[in-house]
């Protein structure tokens, strides 16, 4: 399956000042597959090493002698490692923290070797404070498959060409086809194993079972990294997210976890989930102005799960409610459409915030900062009433608003409506 991060990997390979690369990402987002595919296509050979339960390798990082380490990698993989011609992949690197530290020495003493490492986002972040090669590595993040990548996997080249043409005004007559694909994406989400199985079999029941198994795998992974004192709290937060984002006001409410719950009690648990890449934390901003980070309110935030399909599995949403008719764009607005846009924002390389006034009577679903700041409103249907967005634009004449909905493209006074299925491409192409 094609992944758009492939082009970024090519750019990394050809950089003059290339450094060892860390590929971040939650488990099962396809890190290992894309790196092996990249190595197979773009290098003479690949030296792939799995650091998990590898006692030979784990004892090798004692003095960071890069020449000796290259010999070790060659011996372990039975591959001749050539400068500039071999891709060295160290997978599950979080299992050998000193291997992460060694990247500093490869950058300084042996930059001619092409090295990329991957592993659990949570595991890598645990070691970010000690021995992490700050400033000595390049970094990328692999997210679950976006809607465009889902179309690629489905072989919908015609629909992709319409998206890539950026001819937003053109009435393609394909709205119903885009909606049908979007409904399927709402059901499958973007975990590569799930998408591949669904594309090959169209088996809805087993597709859902795979999602549930991935979710169970995530929860089992909690116990590998999370202190026992935090484990129950992490699970409590994770399980609460579907109900939290189904509310009209999606600000995370601690009292929904248990009576009398306070932020301080659960802040570590939330950070564990964020570090693991299993949750996206969208902080509130008190003012829509440059720089957004200056106006962050850390006491107000929304939590979204990492993948739309896993959200459906957590909700146990029936396939009929997602794939048949238009109900998915109405009844499940809170649980799916805003989740979808959050994922598209992340995949587009932007940081999402949201805005609400102090008394929470007005809320803007998302705000992103590029060369300009864009307040974003999300509409599940074709209803284009935008009271909150219009109020913000009227009081901030320098702002331009985006609305993502199921309605067609149209431009209004300092506001543009963009169909949901164009969302990521629109965000990438507008600065």
| Least confident segment among 107-111, 304-308, 357-361, 425-429 | 357-361
Q: What is the pLDDT of residues 370-402, one digit of tens each?
A: 999 999 999 877 666 778 899 999 999 999 999
Q: How confident is the model at residue 127 (pLDDT cuts 50, 70, 90)?
A: low
Q: Is the pLDDT of residue 142 over 60?
A: yes
Q: How confident is the model at residue 149 (pLDDT cuts 50, 70, 90)?
A: very high
Would you state the pLDDT for residue 28? 93
User: Distance between alpha carbon 97 and the CA centroid of its chain, in Å?
Assistant: 24
Q: Which helix (H) or strand (E) holds 22?
A: strand 21-24
Q: Is 348 helix (H, G, I), strand (E, B) or coil?
A: coil
Q: How confident is the model at residue 333 (pLDDT cuts 50, 70, 90)?
A: low
More confident residue, 132 or 256: 256
DSSP secondary structure code for residue 132 in this structure:
-
Which domains does the chain carry?
5-141 (3.40.50.300), 147-429 (no CATH)
Q: What is the pLDDT of residues 160-215, one digit of tens each?
A: 999 999 998 876 678 889 989 999 999 999 999 999 999 999 999 999 999 999 99
Q: Is the pLDDT of residue 331 over 60?
A: no
Q: Is the pLDDT of residue 44 over 90?
A: yes
Q: What is the mean pLDDT of residues 103-108?
A: 96
Q: What is the pLDDT of residues 47-75, one digit of tens each?
A: 999 999 899 898 999 899 999 999 999 99
Backbone angles phi, psi at 124, to 5 degrees: -65, -40
Task: Compute the distance between CA of residue 190 and CA of residue 152 in angstroms, rounded to an integer.
Answer: 12
Would you state the pLDDT for residue 169? 82
Average pLDDT, rounded, for the chain: 91
Q: How confident is the model at residue 332 (pLDDT cuts 50, 70, 90)?
A: low
Q: How confident is the model at residue 228 (pLDDT cuts 50, 70, 90)?
A: confident
Q: How far, in Å, are 110, 119, 121, 129 from residue 97 at the CA level?
A: 20, 11, 13, 11
Would you state the pLDDT for residue 104? 95
Q: Is the pLDDT of residue 328 over 60?
A: no
DSSP secondary structure code for residue 155 in this structure:
T
| Structure tokens given for 42 | 């773009």
Task: Compute the distance between CA of residue 290 and CA of residue 129 in angstroms, rounded to an integer.
Answer: 30
Q: How confident is the model at residue 227 (pLDDT cuts 50, 70, 90)?
A: confident
Q: How confident is the model at residue 406 (pLDDT cuts 50, 70, 90)?
A: confident
* Cβ 419 vs Cβ 405: under 8 Å: yes
CA-based torsion, 286, 290, 291, 292: positive or negative: positive
Q: Is the pLDDT of residue 128 over 70?
A: no
- Angle between helix 175-188 and 192-201 (nearest 10): 120
User: Distance between alpha carbon 247 and the CA centroid of its chain, in Å?
Assistant: 22
Full-prediction pTM beyond 0.95?
no
């Amino acid at each position: 399956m094609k992944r758009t991060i492939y082009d970024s990997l090519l750019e990394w390979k050809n950089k003059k000042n290339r450094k060892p690369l860390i590929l971040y990402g939650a488990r099962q987002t396809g890190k290992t597959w894309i790196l092996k595919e990249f190595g197979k296509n773009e290098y003479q050979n690949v030296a792939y090493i799995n650091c998990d339960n590898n006692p030979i390798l784990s004892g090798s990082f004692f003095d960071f002698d890069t020449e000796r380490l290259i010999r070790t990698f060659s011996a372990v993989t039975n591959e001749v490692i050539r400068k500039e011609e071999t891709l060295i992949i160290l997978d599950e690197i979080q299992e050998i923290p000193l291997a992460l530290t060694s990247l500093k020495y490869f950058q300084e003493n042996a930059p001619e070797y092409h090295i990329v490492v991957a592993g659990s986002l949570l595991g890598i972040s645990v070691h970010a404070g000690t021995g992490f090669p700050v400033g000595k590595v390049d970094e990328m993040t692999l997210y679950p498959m976006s809607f465009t990548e889902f179309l690629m996997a489905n072989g919908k080249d015609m629909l992709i060409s319409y998206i890539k043409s950026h001819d937003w005004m053109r009435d393609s007559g394909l709205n119903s086809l885009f909606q049908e694909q979007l409904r399927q994406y709402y059901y499958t989400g973007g975990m590569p194993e799930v998408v591949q199985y669904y594309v090959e079999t169209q088996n809805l029941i087993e597709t859902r079972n795979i999602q549930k198994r991935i979710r169970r795998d995530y929860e089992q992974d909690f116990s590998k990294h999370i202190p026992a004192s935090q484990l129950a709290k992490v699970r409590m937060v994770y399980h609460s997210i579907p109900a939290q984002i189904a509310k009209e006001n999606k600000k995370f409410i601690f009292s929904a976890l248990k009576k009398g719950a306070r932020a301080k009690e659960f802040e570590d648990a939330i950070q564990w989930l964020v570090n693991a890449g299993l949750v996206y934390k969208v902080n509130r901003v008190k003012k829509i102005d440059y720089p957004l980070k200056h106006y962050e309110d850390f006491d107000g935030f929304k939590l979204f799960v990492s993948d739309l399909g896993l959200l459906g599995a957590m909700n146990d949403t029936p396939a009929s409610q997602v794939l048949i008719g238009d109900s998915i764009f109405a009844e499940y607005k809170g649980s799916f459409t805003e989740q979808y846009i959050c994922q598209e924002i992340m995949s587009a390389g932007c940081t999402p915030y949201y805005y609400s006034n102090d008394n929470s009577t007005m809320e803007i679903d998302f705000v992103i900062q590029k060369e300009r700041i864009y307040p974003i409103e999300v509409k599940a249907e074709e209803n284009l009433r935008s009271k909150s967005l219009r109020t913000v634009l009227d009081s901030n004449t320098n702002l331009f608003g985006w609305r993502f909905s199921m309605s067609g493209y149209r431009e209004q006074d300092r506001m543009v409506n963009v169909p949901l299925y164009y969302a990521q491409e629109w965000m990438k192409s507008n600065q």
